[in-house]
Amino acid sequence: MTDPRYVGVGFPRVDGLEKVTGAARYTADLKFPRMLHAAVVRSPHPHARVLDVRLEEALAVPGVRAAVAGRDFPYHTGIYLKDQTVFATDRVRFVGDPVAAVAAEIPEAAAEAASRVQVDYEPLPAIYDAEAGIAPGAPLVHPDLGKYEVVPWITPQGGTNVCNHLKVRKGDYEAALRACPHAFTWTYRVPQVQHVPMEPHCSVARFDPAGKVIVHTSAQSPFTVRHLLCACFKLSHGDVQVVVPAVGGGFGGKAGINLEPIAVALAMRAGGRPVRVMVDRAEEFYATVVRQGLTATLTTGVDRNGKVQAQKMHYLWNCGAYGGYGVNVVRAAGYTCGGAYEFPNVWGDSIGVYTNRPVGSAYRGFGMSEIHWALEQQMDRVAHEVGIDPIDFRLRNCLGPGKATVTGQVLGEHAGRPDKCIERVDAALKIRGQKRRRFTGKGIACAVKAPAMPNNASSSVVLKFAEDATLEVLVSGIDYGQGLMTVAAAFAAEALKLPPEKVRVRGKPDTDLSPYDWQTVASRQTWATGNAILRAAADVKRQLLAMAAEALGVPVAELELEMEEVVHRPSDRALPLTALVMGYQFPDGHTIGGPVAATASHVPEGLLYLDPETSQSPKPVAKWTFGAQGVEVTVDPDTGQLSVDRVVACYDVGHVVHPGLIRGQTYGGVVQGLGTAMMEELLLDEQTGRVRNAALMDYKIPTTEDLPAEVEAYYVETPQEDGPMGARGIGEHTLIPTAAAIANALFDACGIRITEMPITAEKVLRALQEQGKGPPR
């Protein structure tokens, strides 16, 4: 149907098109001269066959330069499971699924042309929750699931809606449960939520006459974007260039591939002109990616000493219409299903299910906030049921050196100390043994996360000097606020004894010019890029000392780097770095060495695949980062309004590289966690499949009015054995326990348990009324 805003409206002409009085005037971006603007035709149906797509009327709109549909580019893409095409070919699977796209001189012309694309659909039954998706006889979202290309460690089940299933089997769960005097089963639910980055997704692509594709995009992983585009369009990596400018927020939503294939497809038909594809705020909510939903059912068996002997976790993930990235969330949740605890006998299942909801994907925490919402409430409830203080119960059961995870990995002395994090939070918040005022409460939750990445995920860097001995550090990790460039400068300055002002970190990677980096995800940059920088710095130091030794005629072993000089203390001589970084020239004119530069990389060492039937492995992940958060809350019994008054967080960071960044990540993670805990939820109209709150007027995120009055950040330092200077990352971890800690504090305040996010005032008031603690209904 034609958009009524544009009926009978002329459009300003560019390059010969007529201008219309009163119409907005557009100037091409200086960086992308003659840029075309795209509009995407999206499915109005949650599930339907695509019978025909006709572009003729769209191409007739003045100013339109290209129009494409699924038949033009019937290619599959996906980082782990290639289950999505550039445009829908046989069927659409959610409201917002791309069906076609047009590119025109101005946005209005593109919008008018998109409204004239004619699509014939045959509606199909839709499913919206994971339980319905795995029920016998459920409509198949992907009838061809068994034919898709997939990595070896993801296990889709053809003929079903299961896009991945990871099993954890440790010990003898059934026998252990039978022997337990106490056993408890409860279910918890988490809805889909949106990332809500400040900057919506945007990509610009150009296909030049030589056959090269150049893409500028807001993304977390330029090299992965390049790799996936090459696989999708059957291109050489040498013919695709991806450039990432400053990124205005990601939180996992820009980790994989999003709008880039659409931009490239249009660019291939646009005669060498750049094409921009950008979603508006409403489309950001439903047409990009979201956090997956979860239904978690847990059974816990406890012995008479308060030790958990049997633990069953059944995680059912609502992956939405496509699982290309989200299937790895399912996997990560599976091998981390026991959280920060030692469970000797485990039966775990993490199952990803296709539905006709928006596409589930990575989100800060990568599934950990969702499973901790369940597990940390479960631990709290079990503690209360068996009459043990929740802090003591956690300390009796938490992981630590010499203890084994659910995958059988025995933690070493450098693995991190959840017990110390728990004790530090309790010491600050005084959770144990304190009487509370009525309707005030305190709660705690633990957190753990490992980097969910392939065993060969690597990072590389280049270090080089300018003529004045300024050190330039080239990295390809994306700094979108977490502080990568600051940390990178700190590592380089420390390793080479340089003042920080003499270090420049060059971000904004370009795959043609920058060193390779797998992705900026998994809280891995401090660890991975940091290690690469230290290795490169060691090479730079070797070159400088070797050159200085020859210049001064002394042994290398007698030389030291000190604040922009190479110093020989026995003779009290020194050479400034400016005399060395471009090669040393002797008084007679002959020169040794040359421009000092080094490249280095880091790849995880010793990682071993999980057993496909039990998920047991001596080292399935590179590292574990532990933490805990405590919160203090107040409940208004007349309204159900819940206020978070104070938050205390502690994480084992291995080694503090920059205290300010730890505090910043903690504050940001707490606030984002508070939002998902208390207000965020993507609401779907199950009659139409449309998102009901695709706007910031209706989808609430925290504002300054919602912030806790006090947030305190502490840290424990148990050096990571393979960490740069012992450090490990915590960028995602600060979000993970917040929601569960709030739920536990709510129970402490008034005895009610909310098991389905978000914890809204309406839910709290209803629960209070049911217990006779609130105003009458």
The first and second tokens of residue 347, run together, are: 């039966």
List of domains in the chain: 16-23+457-602 (3.30.365.10), 32-124+201-278 (3.90.1170.50), 290-453+608-770 (3.30.365.10)
Which one, of 265, 289, 731, lies nearest residue 482 by Cα?
Answer: 731
- The pLDDT value given to residue 28: 39
Contact 94, 356 (CB under 8 A): yes
Contact 220, 484 (CB under 8 A): no
Torsion of CA 604, 610, 616, 622, to 10 degrees: 20
End-to-end Cα spacing for the chain: 46
Which one, of 116, 117, 104, 118, lies nearest residue 11 by Cα?
Answer: 104
Tally of CB atoms within 10 A around 153: 16
Task: Using DSSP, state whether 770 is helix, strand or coil.
Answer: helix
Give the amino acid at 676: T
The first and second tokens of residue 333, run together, are: 């949740």
DSSP codes of every residue in 706-721:
GS-SEEEEEEE----T
Contact 276, 388 (CB under 8 A): no
Q: In sequence order, which residues have a C-beta less than 8 Å from that of residue 693 and are 6 or more positions away?
A: 285, 681, 682, 683, 699
Contact 663, 483 (CB under 8 A): no
Interval 474-529: pLDDT, tens: 999 999 999 999 999 999 999 999 999 999 999 889 999 999 999 999 999 999 99
Q: Where are the beta strands (DSSP E) in 25-63?
A: 36-42, 48-54
Tally of CB atoms within 10 A around 633: 26
- The pLDDT value given to residue 489: 98
Interval 253-272: pLDDT, tens: 999 999 999 999 999 999 99
- The pLDDT value given to residue 25: 30
Tally of CB atoms within 10 A around 608: 12
**Exposure string over 92-126, b if 16+ CB within 10 A, otherwise e:** bbbbbbbbbbbbbbbbbbbbbbbbbbebebeebeb
Q: Measured between alpha carbons, how far is 350 from 166 in angstroms, rounded to an integer?
A: 5
The first and second tokens of residue 718, run together, are: 């148990």
Q: Which phi and psi angles does 743 have, rounded to 5°? A: -60, -40
In the chain, which residues have pLDDT < 70?
1-30
Which one, of 105, 110, 111, 113, lies nearest residue 27 by Cα?
Answer: 105
Q: Which phi and psi angles does 485 have, rounded to 5°? A: -65, -35
Which one, of 92, 21, 26, lies nearest residue 53 by Cα?
Answer: 92
- The pLDDT value given to residue 435: 77
- The pLDDT value given to residue 30: 55
